[in-house]
A and B are shown apart, each in its own frame.
Chain A
Amino acid sequence: MDSATTSQVQLTVNGKPVTLELDTRTSLLDMLREHLGLTGTKKGCNQGACGACTVLVNNRSVNACLTLAAMCQGASVTTIEGISENGRLHPLQEAFIRHDAMQCGYCTPGQIMSGIACIQAGETYSAHAVREFMSGNLCRCGAYQNIVAAVLEVAEQAGGRR
């Protein structure tokens, strides 16, 4: 077993293969922002409390700040930059705009990634269920009402409402 203070990591980010040699301490969040220029994913608290850094790893929502990049060897990572298709916004992005589900916008990428996970998990049978599932995403502007409305609307459109 090789042990070193730099490590090579090969993974897929938004469908594209990536190989990087990184300091072992590099978080997935810093890898995305500093090494790949994907600054849509935000650094809020950097300690797993705010959810601004939420991305999907192998289709599961995680806090990129508490994940070391090295732990993502072989993984498939999806960020806010990777959810639009052919230049069209993801339905949840469109719903966030329609519902004005943000004020300053800093938490928005994390909210949207968490909202996608919420809809996939089917935890959209009530506003309370959405709030519970997404309680790991803080919005200090207090846009929760509209965030929940946007998630519920997309879930309904997708037939994901139970």
Chain B
Amino acid sequence: MRPVSYARATSVAEAIAALRAHPDAAFLAGGTTEIDLLRLDVVRPNALVDINALPLSRIEDLADGGLRIGALARMSDVAEAPAVVERFPMLMQALLLGASAQLRNMATIGGNLLQRVRCSYFRDVASPCNKREPGTGCSALDGINRGHAVLGTSDHCIATHPSDLAVALIALDAVVRTEGPRGARAFPIDEFFLLPRDTPHLEHPTEHGELVVAVDVPAAPIARRSLYAKVRDRESYEFALASVAAAMDVQGGVIRAARVALGGVATKPWRARRAEQILVGAPAQRDTYARAAREELASARPRQLNAFKVELAQRAIVRALETLAETGGPQ
């Protein structure tokens, strides 16, 4: 690891000022991705500003029945918060199906959203990678791309966004709150993640020194019956090949409302709006789910080794919606 200076921030303002003073400085929270990437020389900050002492760990009720989750709340704490368990089961499941118990104790909510991709070429400084070094090319396009994305890709990057949590949050219309040089800002979470297009090195609309302080999850009665289903190569402690965050309101056999988002198959947490359009107003039955899934994946652009994900994602959607219809979601 290259030499790097270290300082502990004691206030949000101090943390932001410290980054503004150093163009190559970075915030340090849980460290689970950042320390790893520092060691691999993939990220090269010359200064770390430890934000763990900032008062950003609270999980609070919002007046409308939603939740405000502090950016430094740890994954394990959020997963067992009663409000999350009762009101947003898909959020709880997405958290518990991610990483390991140890990593969940360390990793923060803000850091989870900002985690970098797991593309093996991005993580290998000897390989060309447009995300790591713009203009050098994408090694994954014709490389080992079994884990890569089929939705939201470009000719410059096909890396899958790795977060489970973000998939649930995008289904829940969460809002990412930041503080920075331009004061406080709020981003609808769909806008917080950028598509790679021809600038895969740009991942978020935030600027240097802008700190994620909280994630707001608006009230969503539909989410009380929701689930997060994750398909992977092994049963635990593995990234998704395909995952689905889903909630559905069925009355008299007809779907009144639906939320569907996908993970493991797209370059950003993927809200399946086309699928939702097809579901709403249609009978709650298998062929509806299959049609919604097929339409959502119609724009998929598979590569050599990940073409199976187009079918896998559809099956995952159908299974998630069938499970919701049968059981009303997780117990």
Contact = CB atoms under 8 A, between A and B. Distances in A.
Interface residues of A, number: 37
A67 B36 CA distance: 10
Contact of A3 (B1, B3, B7): B7
A46 interface: yes
Interface in B141-182: none
Interface in A93-134: 114, 117-118, 121, 131-134
CB-based closest 5 A-B pairs: A136-B100, A135-B236, A24-B6, A3-B7, A135-B237
Contacts of A66: 31-32, 35-36, 103, 106
Report the contact-size class of chain B (Cβ under 8 Å from the partner).
20 to 34
B101 A118 contact: yes
Nearest to A59: B105
Given A3-B47, A46-B39, A135-B236, A71 B31 contact: yes
A132 B7 CA distance: 36
B101 A114 contact: yes
Nearest to B77: A60
Interface string A1-30: 111110100000000000000011101000
Nearest to B1: A25
B101 A61 contact: yes
A129 B7 CA distance: 39
Interface in A25-76: 25, 27, 46-48, 51, 54, 60-63, 65-68, 70-71, 73
Contacts of B3: 5, 23-25
Interface of A: 1-5, 7, 23-25, 27, 46-48, 51, 54, 60-63, 65-68, 70-71, 73, 114, 117-118, 121, 131-137
10 contacts: A1-B8, A3-B47, A24-B6, A27-B35, A48-B36, A70-B6, A71-B50, A114-B101, A118-B101, A121-B101
Contact of A63 (B5, B7, B47, B102): B102
